[in-house]
Structure 1
Amino acid sequence: MAKVTSDQLGTEPIGKLLVRQAVPASIGILVMSLNVLVDSIFVGNWIGSIAIAAINVVLPVSFFIGALGMAIGIGGSSIISRALGADDKEKALQTFGNQITLTLLVTTVMVSLGLFYVDGLIPAFGGKGAIFDPAKIYYIIVVCGVPFLALCMMGNTVIRAEGKPKFAMIAMIIPSVGNLVMDYFFINVFDWGMEGAAWATTIGYVLCFAYVLYFFVSKNSELKVVWHHFRLKSHILKEISSLGFVTLSRQAVVSVIYLLMNNILFDLGGEAMVAVYAIIGRMLMFALFPVFGVTQGFLPIAGYNYGAHKYERVKESIFTAIKYAALMATLVFVGLMVFPAEIASLFLSNKPDMSAFELATNAFVLEHAPSAMRLVFAATPIIALQLIGAAYFQAIGKAVPALLLTLTRQGFFFIPLILILPNYLGEFGVWIAFPISDVLATLVTGFYLRREVKRDLDR
């Protein structure tokens, strides 16, 4: 593999650079998303549709703890990108050391709390009725492995901040492939059921951690921390926290949305309706992988060039990223509008020995999921502007506007809509809240991004 250094972020043509950064990020996100997707298909076909709903209940809790690592990673990586752009290597090293210490401390505390309150958390997130028992089995095993996930997510963003997207891609691929292989053996061959699905996921996290650790202790990384870098520094923690709080807030809102959606939909249609949302949730993770890949590729480019005061390159990176992401989003939109029924059917078992309850659940899902999917993704072509716009403020270290714009879609618009619309429109009100919030958030983000570019970069 050719030697790649961070200073190329400030010299290569933006279009070429964005492709070099975004394609590996997209592939990594694709493989991770495929992991979630295929994992759900395996679970649905080999265990049952209620098992998919059970995993959907656990995901917001485990993902929130894992997102602590991502928040610390993205917050610190913004500092690292700008420090490398300004040729301040010591600040980059100190930041990375503080990221490691902080991730270990915070996730250990959160996992301990999560295990202590397990019996209250699962019903709160919609794990009721037949969903509770399989959800608890999956939760206990997976949450124990989440600190490894948090360290992987933190390390992955730092790898990308160094300008080494191929290594970051491999780090994302390893747990996904490991999980799917273990799924086959633990669920299908050994018939371990939910325990098998949980252990497969946890082992995937550990494999990812092993690779990320290898990257940083090998010659591939520019960031060689020593013991004094691990000592927490208040000014670095403050900057990591202010920028990382954007990512953490976004994931916290996602967890709240899962809590609200699972409970609202359970009241509207029971376990089967939660299973419909579980499929929609998997597609929200999977289908937008190229857009998220462009966003991930954009972050270090914008951060590095902003730190180096190359404002024309920053501006070019914004518009190029929006263009590429919008094209990807439109292609995704077309596929989802044309094949929603076929997509939904992939998640459902066709075993000959299914119970009457499982048969009824599958029939309900096939009836409701296609129309729900079309509504949820109706505004997909325009979301590129919202995602890139919010990411720009995070990349350049402006935490407050980054936080507000990140929360605009899901926090300020979507949550109020799903609390209000179902009271008048029932199930339709839940699904129509998605495109309405997408449109409103994109309008707000476009306004603030345009104003920021004119004021800060046109000089």
Structure 2
Amino acid sequence: MEQSKIKQGANPLGYKPIGQLLMQFAMPAIISMLVNSIYNIVDQIFIGQGIGYLGNAATTIAFPIVTIVLALCTLLGAGGSAFAAIKLGEKKEEEAEKTLGTVFVLTILASIIVIVLGFLFMDPMLKLFGATHNTMDYARQYTSVMLLGTPFNMIAVVLSNMARTDGSPALSMHAILVGAVINTILNPIYIFILHWGVRGSALATITSQFISAAFLVSYFIHKGKNMRFRKKYMRIDSEVIRSALPLGISSGITQIASTILQVVMNNSLVYYGNHSEVGGDVALSAMGIVNKISMTLVSICVGIGIGSQPILGFNKGANQTKRVRKTFVLAAFASTMVSVVGWVACQLFPGPILSMFGTQDVEFSLFAVRCLKVYMLGIFTAGFQVVVTSYFQSTGQPLKASVLSMLRQLLFLIPLILILPLHFGLDGILFAGPVADISSALIVSPFVIYELKKLNKMCRNS
């Protein structure tokens, strides 16, 4: 049966075993997401070793700009790839190529706008993001270089999403992986040998992003399987915008919420840190490291969600409900296991994990350990929540995806960061994390139960 489908040119997303497909698509996506996290972590590790906690605080201050860029990337990349997957499932390859062209043009335009606005309002933004007299110069140096690399960063992230939908998850992974290796090599050279400081770390990052972007652009020019760059489609198609971008809104909202969260958290850490024995810059730097660790763990779960999207979207378009249900259940289980393992590691081995970011003074280390253990106390609930949002996004339910994507950060975590410190000081910021994680999980659960019942009923009737 499988051989006859291959001979007829059927898409493997419609007939290969779900477990095999999920592994095939999720592993490259996980590696790609980890690599994107590692870009920032590598910067922080080498800056911590070569400059100290003030340099790390500067990267934390600049991080909201990174999340703004990622919000645009996920809006375009996740929305475009989800819509293209549905069109490929409906055997409408030209519509998928229109989507590719539209998303690419929008990516270029968006990156130019980010650069212009970023340089025009850099100092006010950095002050808003928590920069102090001690950290402003470092933050300005790091941010100015990172802004110049925005087009390369956005192209690499958006096209890696499209490459997975095109049936080349390994290529997407390799493009990002090559960039990460180069970033890791150049960082110590620029910081320790050439003594370029935080500016050198940022330069290493954008060099690696350029190489990743060039790799993916070349693929869609010469080797795309179902989608390639066509001159006639390199324009903005209004129908694609109306249909594809809503599917990426939930991912974009998640990143926008991350930006707002980072701004609120940075300022709260500085204020309440300065009113404690810890100090604002120490609190900001420690939480920056903890957030990078959290981002790394969640990125694995996001990778599983992203890996499931082409499978879900294609089979949704092809009306293969049993395959949709199996993909959903398997992806949710895998991501839950990942988040549980990460939670155990953070609770049992906080010291060794934090030691990767440099040897700091005793006061910093003690607060960082407490910060990691308390703030990550509810991270075990993160896995299935990420996959649920990806599921609704991939199956053409953008409203549900958008609402669920806002739960943890906008509806719970940000208000808790503002309210709890009024009563518990700096500790209130730490405990806001687990309270938000567990509360959002309790609300997401009924959505999961209802959707599974609906899928089961559809499978019985099919």
**TM-score strictly above 0.5:** yes
SS of equivalent to 1:458: helix
Contact 1:66 1:147 in 2 (8 A): no
Greater CA drift, 92-101 or 13-22: 13-22
TM-score for the superposition, normalised by structure 1: 0.93
1:32-77 deviation line (CA, Å, top 9, x unaligned): 3333323211110111111011011112113312431221011011
Counterpart CA distance in 2 for 1:46 and 1:123 is: 24
Given residue 89 of structure 1, which amino acid in structure 2 is its aligned partner? E
Calculate the aligned-residue CA RMSD, in Å.
Answer: 1.7
Contact 1:69 1:152 in 2 (8 A): no
Greater CA drift, 116-125 or 97-106: 97-106
Q: Is 1:216 equivalent to 2:226 in the alignment? A: no
Q: Return 5+ residue gaps in structure 2 as ranges.
A: 1-5, 274-279
Moved over 4 A (4+): none
Aligned residues: 445
Select which of 117, 120, 126 maps to 1:122.
Answer: 126
Residue 56 of structure 2: aligned partner: 52
Contact 2:62 2:142 in 1 (8 A): yes
Q: Is 1:95 equivalent to 2:99 in the alignment? A: yes
Show the 5 A alignment for 1:395-434: 395-434=394-433
Show the 5 A alignment for 1:366-377: 366-377=365-376
SS of equivalent to 2:11: helix
Counterpart CA distance in 2 for 1:365 and 1:137 is: 24
Given residue 403 of structure 1, which amino acid in structure 2 is its aligned partner? S
Show the 5 A alignment for 1:182-331: 182-269=186-273, 270-331=280-341
Counterpart CA distance in 1 for 2:168 and 2:310 is: 10
SS of equivalent to 1:288: helix
Given residue 43 of structure 2, which amino acid in structure 1 is its aligned partner? D
Select which of 32, 38, 42 maps to 1:38.
Answer: 42
TM-score for the superposition, normalised by structure 2: 0.93
Counterpart CA distance in 2 for 1:224 and 1:324 is: 32
Q: Is 1:444 equivalent to 2:443 in the alignment? A: yes
Q: Return 5+ residue gaps in structure 1 as ranges.
A: 351-361
Given residue 132 of structure 1, which amino acid in structure 2 is its aligned partner? M
Select which of 146, 156, 160 maps to 2:150.
Answer: 146
1:234 Cα shift?
1.5
Contact 2:68 2:259 in 1 (8 A): yes
Contact 1:9 1:305 in 2 (8 A): yes
Given residue 14 of structure 1, which amino acid in structure 2 is its aligned partner? I
1:455 Cα shift?
3.2
Counterpart CA distance in 2 for 1:147 and 1:159 is: 18
1:457 Cα shift?
5.7
Residue 85 of structure 2: aligned partner: 81
Greater CA drift, 401-410 or 239-248: 239-248
Q: Percent identity?
A: 28
Counterpart CA distance in 2 for 1:138 and 1:383 is: 31
Provide closer, same or farther for how the CA distance between residues 6 and 401 of structure 1 changes in structure 2, counting only shifts above 3 A. farther
Residue 351 of structure 2: aligned partner: 341
SS of equivalent to 2:134: helix
Residue 175 of structure 1: aligned partner: 179
SS of equivalent to 1:23: helix
Given residue 409 of structure 1, which amino acid in structure 2 is its aligned partner? R
Provide closer, same or farther for how the CA distance between residues 106 and 290 of structure 1 changes in structure 2, counting only shifts above 3 A. closer
Provide closer, same or farther for how the CA distance between residues 168 and 55 of structure 1 changes in structure 2, counting only shifts above 3 A. same
1:208 Cα shift?
1.0
